[in-house]
Chains A and B, each alone.
Chain A
Amino acid sequence: MNSHELFLVHTGEVIEEGGLTLGQLCHACDVHAEWVISLVEESIIEPQGETIQCWRFSGPSLGRVRAALRLQRDLGVNLAGIALALDLLEEIENLRLQMHVAERG
């Protein structure tokens, strides 16, 4: 790395609500569209837009797709199980936040 690169500041673009198309999401996660569609059918991620061509996905759904991929690959969880696991994990995270507060109180 040369000194020029050391001082180079990269300005990225924030993926806003409805920022990714189905194709972009698939490429970002290295998965097939069919699989993403099945995640939508299971309500694991919820795109904006009526038809598949119009679907737009938010930044957090990118995180959920990747977590779903890991759960399926590493633990052999099926789609219904992934949906349940992700919902429960979110709930635990919220409870932990509250507990963290209660402990300090």
Chain B
Amino acid sequence: MMEYKDYYKIMGLAREASQDDIKRSYRKLARKYHPDVSKEADAEAKFKELGEAYEVLKDPEKRAAYDQLGANWKAGQDFRPPPNWAEGFEFSGGGFTSGDAGAFSDFFEQLFGKAGFHTSGKAQSGGPARGQDSHAKIHIDLEDSFLGATRGITLSAPEMDAQGHVQVKHRTLNIKIPKGIKEGQHIRLTGQGHSGEGGGKTGDLFLEIAFNKHPFYRVSEADIYLDLPVSPWEAALGTKIKVPTPEGSVDLKIPPNSKQGSKLRLKGRGLPGQAPGDLYVVLQITLPSAETEKAKAAYQKLQQELDFNPRKSLGV
């Protein structure tokens, strides 16, 4: 069973839309859902769906064939193409212009075949050709970079079998995460890419590193930032307090008269490496609430004792 896909609905168009409307709508939605640009959670799935819809509707031949299925289908409905539905239509070439056509739906494949399954486009002249390099992004924890780690990752890639069916193949690799690796850096695994042709070498696999969001550390290059809540008296009087670092807590001296947002540097406590990063502690002065009588009295005492106008610089 496969589901009917309403390509017009996906593109937000009426069935009478002109070719210009289709192009305009694609451009607009592609900008909205492009995984590089969009932060919407399901952007990637939406963008794939959109690409498939556009692939059909932008091509008058494919569009006419699709329209012939009729307008009474509902998206998600079980679908079986009517016999000989595409009789008399001629599709010129594979026509898969967009990149990852291997990921198009069963519905699309059933209607238009998989003739144009995207391959490297490199010469297939029979001589040895090195296999394509492949890419994947992996998310690791900050601690993995700190200590070094081994992580199992599962990679999926569409592959075409001997019968020409596209199947998504999964494989799991255990990867050594080198100590001190930074966000945006790449790890190259020689010979783990696509296989070559005619005895050519296998391509490489490039893994791009991204960090999972940490509950309290932020990472910028090799430096780590930590927002540290301090009480008004700790900031005003100075003190020594315990601060967490990815390698365990350390004692930090808060100088007297520290201001809100002051940055204190712990040299070399950032990501490890030849030039290790620093850890910056950013002070966040936190006020105790004045809910109890005791707290109120303490604030009133401050008010009486100090001649303090926080709006002096505003001239009032």
Query: Which residues on A are within 8 Å of B, measured CB to CB?
Result: 1, 6-15, 27-30, 59-60, 62-63, 66-67, 70-71, 73-76, 85, 89, 96-97, 100-101, 104-105
Contact at B206–A62, with CB atoms within 8 Å? yes
Contact at A12–B227, with CB atoms within 8 Å? no
- Tell me, yes or no, whether B265 is within 8 Å of chain A by CB: no
22 sampled A-B residue pairs with Cβ under 8 A: A8-B174, A13-B187, A14-B181, A14-B186, A15-B188, A28-B135, A28-B204, A30-B120, A30-B121, A30-B132, A59-B186, A62-B208, A63-B184, A63-B208, A67-B36, A74-B34, A74-B99, A75-B30, A75-B34, A76-B27, A97-B220, A101-B225
Q: A28-B133, A73-B98, A105-B284 are in contact. Are A60 and B184 (CB under 8 A)?
A: yes
Contact at B99–A73, with CB atoms within 8 Å? yes
- Tell me, yes or no, whether B314 is within 8 Å of chain A by CB: no
Count A/B pairs, Cβ under 8 Å: 100
Majority secondary structure, A binding face: helix
Query: Which single member of B120, B171, B174, B178 contacts A14 (CB below 8 Å)?
Result: B178
Contact at B188–A13, with CB atoms within 8 Å? yes
| A74 contact set on B, CB distance < 8 A | 30, 34, 47, 51, 98-99
Of all chain B residues, the one with the shortest Cβ separation from A17 is B185
Contact at A10–B171, with CB atoms within 8 Å? no
Interface centre among B130, B206, B213, by most A CB within 10 Å? B206
Q: How far is the CB of A61 from chain B (nearest CB, A)?
A: 10
- Tell me, yes or no, whether B37 is within 8 Å of chain A by CB: yes
Add 16 more A-B contacts to A10-B173, A10-B189 (CB < 8 A).
Answer: A6-B174, A7-B174, A12-B176, A15-B185, A28-B206, A29-B133, A59-B184, A59-B185, A60-B185, A70-B99, A71-B36, A74-B99, A75-B30, A75-B31, A89-B36, A100-B218
A103 to B231, CA, bound (A): 19
Majority secondary structure, B binding face: mixed
- Tell me, yes or no, whether B245 is within 8 Å of chain A by CB: no
| B303 contact set on A, CB distance < 8 A | none
- Tell me, yes or no, whether B125 is within 8 Å of chain A by CB: no
Q: A1-B171, A7-B174, A66-B135 are in contact. Are A14 and B187 (CB under 8 A)?
A: yes
| B27 contact set on A, CB distance < 8 A | 75-76
Contact at A101–B218, with CB atoms within 8 Å? yes
A100 to B31, CA, bound (A): 24
Query: Which single member of A27, A60, A104 contacts B133 (CB below 8 Å)?
Result: A27
| B86 contact set on A, CB distance < 8 A | none
Contact at A9–B176, with CB atoms within 8 Å? yes
Which chain B residues (1-46) contact chain A, with CB distance < 8 Å? 27, 30-31, 34-37, 39
| A66 contact set on B, CB distance < 8 A | 135
A14 to B186, CA, bound (A): 6
Q: How far is the CB of A5 from chain B (nearest CB, A)?
A: 9
Question: 8 shortest A-B CB distances, which residue pairs?
Answer: A12-B187, A59-B186, A60-B184, A12-B189, A11-B176, A59-B185, A9-B174, A15-B186
- Tell me, yes or no, whether B304 is within 8 Å of chain A by CB: no
Contact at A89–B227, with CB atoms within 8 Å? no
| A97 contact set on B, CB distance < 8 A | 218, 220
- Tell me, yes or no, whether B243 is within 8 Å of chain A by CB: no
A60 to B37, CA, bound (A): 17
